[in-house]
Structure 1
């Protein structure tokens, strides 16, 4: 029941992504941005069931699983094909449900970098490839008994497996798509393109924060003993620190306590503590969350103003940069008693463990980043050369609600009293 409840909590995070991303973008794209969460989770479910679950957790070699495709959870032979999951005494169906919810979250992250300018076909094709082929490889390396697992990499609930993967793919997509129309001036200065509904953003982040207790505490796979509640506690402490850290950092740099930076600070802290939540003491969780919130602010400004990469919701800064920090943090803060309890890796540098665990964490981050970067670049590059990545200029000006779906998210805001034609051009609107 606990694992199933955790699945439900993580699944409900899709509602949080829908509200956050729709609120952070313009109203002419709101329906599209929210609705693609349904599309992406449907794709992730089928691709992961058919191929991804076996590649991730099926018995195989150090790099990918070779059993358990099109898994029949009632087949006794199929159940024995997932020895990497044997440590959890719950039905195979519960294990699949929980893991597929993680894939859905990772894929939802990708779309943040593509928002407001990518073709719907890109979501269909890249989403299938990511869920079935890209994500499962890193999942196997870290969680499926692969080579990083054998080295003792510590990533309790997925700062690297889930969030870094999604963040890197989002960054690749944003680079290949190019910035939105009007984002940059001829002299290279950036223009703000504000989201249309901060209230949606706040509600979306609250839902994500709520669902994250299933994400992290659910990764214990049991409600027996004290570990699941302890993981929830460190998650809460880190998130509170991240919200305040980001708010004060934005206030200091921008001169105003920006709400959107605070919201992203919550998420950055959640991402960072996801790897470390079971390995660190409460004081370290506060430090990890606060650092994540502050670093996220500077990362967003770096990518927007210096590197000229248009990442509409800060997907890479929130999930990629914070994911890297969170994964590395266990190499600094992993406490000996918690490491001994979990039996994964070694204590961190600040507990006398030396540089070994930090080195393992760094290696895991580096190879995961490189693999996802290359794989995503190949898939996006292939799509760009065939079906194309970006909608036409006039379609982007109209907005994806009408140009891609023929239905406006806010029809009352259109001219002519809300009357419109699905084939209307930018000029007629």
Structure 2
């Protein structure tokens, strides 16, 4: 490989890193917008800590578990030692020789924290902060690298007769987070007031504009999430992946819009936003294998599924404030199975391998998460008190408000006399905004 091509590949991978990094801002903005204002700091705090936890654990042992080397080909588990071993030859990556070792590590590290970020939104507004931090450490530090190794590190899913295929992580990233979230929600229970007399009651988030901004940041970041997963700057391959990713997201928005019209007789913006994310999650497993029609179909189905999923989980009394299960679990599974139905790899053998991959990753991730959540529940506890939940996690867990003028004590602000402007908080209005 020429030095020029090596530099171009490396620059594109670094740009992809920046875009995936921005996705964490997207998750933080989306989740905080869909939460009530009294829990905004709590949501932002969790999202601000998940990335550092993911990067540190991935540095100390996660990378060596996920990419343990050829000696563990076809295995269930591997580990090549603590730390990030710089291979001989300096900055050339042993796994992806087209760019540097450091770039390879950082790109993979950015993916690692995403699984716990998905869990964050699903358990929002009633989870104990300390318990969530412990869960995130174990989930990102152990569960994610193990299942990632099964495919991307040369493990058993990669050595099936027809290898399991997951281009950028519909299963290995998104459904892993979804399974972890499902286990947590089951043991945590719904928010106070979510289910009354057997019926689900909507608990609106405090800022739809914030949620909308978050979705568009995530869509932008997905160009690096999927485009960077080409693992080179190959112009044809990268361009194809970006086009298919965009078409699936657009079709997901249409699917969410149409399904919300059919089921609710309303143009529900939150369903359109989740439809966009559903299309992105759905195409992630096979973005490099699909054609235009394939991508549109995958996106349309994903956008429709996310609306049905929200209704299904409400019927099952599973409280998911941000729709994470519908987006990341249901559509992660759909996107993975779609690889065996559409595109270049479509066929019975591939579909069976996709089923095996979905089943294996789902069984391990759910079991791992359930055990961790259960141990935390019977030891430290995982749910805040009723008073803390009603008054808001911001003031109890963080001793601060995201919006002091709304959530804090009544205030009075007087402008200079010549302006003759006085603004006084109205208690009733404050209550309504909370």
TM-score, normalised by the number of residues in structure 2:
0.89
* CA-to-aligned-CA distance 1:164-196 (integer Å, 9 cap, x gap): 0001101111111000011111x2111100011
58-67 vs 208-217, greater mean Cα deviation: 58-67
Matched, 1:348 2:346: yes
Q: Quick one: distance in 2 between partners of 1:405 and 1:415?
A: 13
Q: Quick one: distance in 2 between partners of 1:17 and 1:245?
A: 22
Q: Quick one: distance in 1 between partners of 2:155 and 2:63?
A: 14
- Tell whether the 8 Å contact from 1:241 to 1:287 is kept in structure 2 after alignment: yes
2:83 match = 70
Matched, 1:245 2:255: yes
1:158 match = 169
2:397 match = 404
2:52 match = 42
Q: Quick one: distance in 2 between partners of 1:225 and 1:252?
A: 41
* CA-to-aligned-CA distance 1:121-179 (integer Å, 9 cap, x gap): 12221111011110011100011000101121110000001000001101111111000
Of 296, 299, 309, which aligns to 1:289? 299
2:370 match = 377
1:423 match = none
TM-score, normalised by the number of residues in structure 1:
0.90
Q: Quick one: distance in 1 between partners of 2:376 and 2:360?
A: 24
- Tell whether the 8 Å contact from 2:25 to 2:214 is kept in structure 1 after alignment: yes
Give the secondary structure class of the aligned counterpart of 1:332: coil
Give the secondary structure class of the aligned counterpart of 1:67: coil
Q: Quick one: distance in 2 between partners of 1:78 and 1:319?
A: 38
Of 113, 134, 151, which aligns to 1:125? 134
- Tell whether the 8 Å contact from 1:331 to 1:348 is kept in structure 2 after alignment: yes
Matched, 1:21 2:31: yes
- Tell whether the 8 Å contact from 2:38 to 2:407 is kept in structure 1 after alignment: no
1:184 match = 195
Give the secondary structure class of the aligned counterpart of 2:339: helix
1:302 match = 312
Q: Quick one: distance in 1 between partners of 2:17 and 2:409?
A: 45
Q: Quick one: distance in 1 between partners of 2:77 and 2:316?
A: 35
Q: Quick one: distance in 2 between partners of 1:68 and 1:292?
A: 40
Of 352, 355, 359, which aligns to 2:352? 359
Dislocated runs of 4+, deviation >4 Å:
77-80
Of 171, 183, 186, which aligns to 1:172? 183
Unaligned runs of 5+ in 1: 336-346, 350-354, 420-425
- Tell whether the 8 Å contact from 1:50 to 1:69 is kept in structure 2 after alignment: yes
* CA-to-aligned-CA distance 1:200-257 (integer Å, 9 cap, x gap): 0110000000000000010011113310111000000010000011011011101101
Question: Over aligned residue pairs, what C-alpha RMSD do you find?
Answer: 1.8
409-418 vs 39-48, greater mean Cα deviation: 409-418
Of 320, 341, 359, which aligns to 1:332? 341
1:338 match = none
May I ask how many residue pairs the two structures share in their alignment? 399
* CA-to-aligned-CA distance 1:70-122 (integer Å, 9 cap, x gap): 1143x528989x85x24x42111111110111112121101111100001112
Deviation at 1:282, TM superposition (A): 1.2
- Relative to structure 1, the CA distance from residue 127 to residue 78 in structure 2 (aligned partners, 3 Å threshold; closer, same or farther) is farther
1:200 match = 210
Q: Quick one: distance in 2 between partners of 1:278 and 1:327?
A: 13
Matched, 1:110 2:123: no
- Relative to structure 1, the CA distance from residue 160 to residue 78 in structure 2 (aligned partners, 3 Å threshold; closer, same or farther) is farther
* CA-to-aligned-CA distance 1:298-324 (integer Å, 9 cap, x gap): 0110001x2110011111110000000
- Tell whether the 8 Å contact from 2:26 to 2:218 is kept in structure 1 after alignment: yes
Q: Quick one: distance in 1 between partners of 2:145 and 2:189?
A: 28
Matched, 1:388 2:401: no
1:422 match = none
Q: Quick one: distance in 1 between partners of 2:90 and 2:47?
A: 30
2:3 match = none
Q: Quick one: distance in 2 between partners of 1:77 and 1:116?
A: 49
Q: Quick one: distance in 2 between partners of 1:79 and 1:135?
A: 26
56-65 vs 236-245, greater mean Cα deviation: 56-65
